[in-house]
Amino acid sequence: MIQRGIHLLKYKGRLIDLRVMVQKNVKGKWEPTGEIGRIGHHAKFVTNVCKGGTSKPVELLLETKVDDRKAFKQKLRRLGLQTAYQLNRTFKSLNEIGMDVGVDRNLKLWIIEVNTRPAIYGFKSLRDKSIYKKISRYQKRYAKR
């Protein structure tokens, strides 16, 4: 496979990307449940927490890059919802996605990867613990099916 190179935004000289979680709620409707920024390890180009990356709030990573962070997060959530709807047309039993999104120097969003069984431990580091609790609660509900 060949993948196009993307000049990702950086935070303190390290590459960043974003993870948006989109899950079906108790009514079976798709809902964006959380976003988190990920900073790559200084010696690597991947941002995965399991590979040495670090999780940080999206607002922190974009504070000097994006003027309207609220609108930017809405755009990210919309992309996550659109992706979930589209994938669910083919994969009927899909309940959640963890979508990794790159942001280039022009603030264009690029889907890097969509995980149908996403790791969520990066969300534990957020100050707002309700985000992790909600994501985890939804995941536990799917496991019972």
- 139 lies in a domain? yes
Distant-in-sequence contacts of 2-7, Cβ < 8 A, 24+ apart = 6/102, 6/104, 6/110, 6/112, 7/104, 7/105
Domain that holds residue 97: 10-143
The tally of domains found in the chain comes to 1
pLDDT in tens, 43-84: 656 666 656 678 899 999 998 888 898 999 999 999 999 999
For 137, the token pair is 């609660």
Cβ atoms within 10 A of the Cβ of 71, count?
10
List, for the chain, all residue ranges whose pLDDT scores fall below the cut of 70. Answer: 43-52, 144-145
Calculate what percentage of the chain has a pLDDT beyond 90: 67
- 2 lies in a domain? no
CATH of the domain at 51: 3.30.470.20
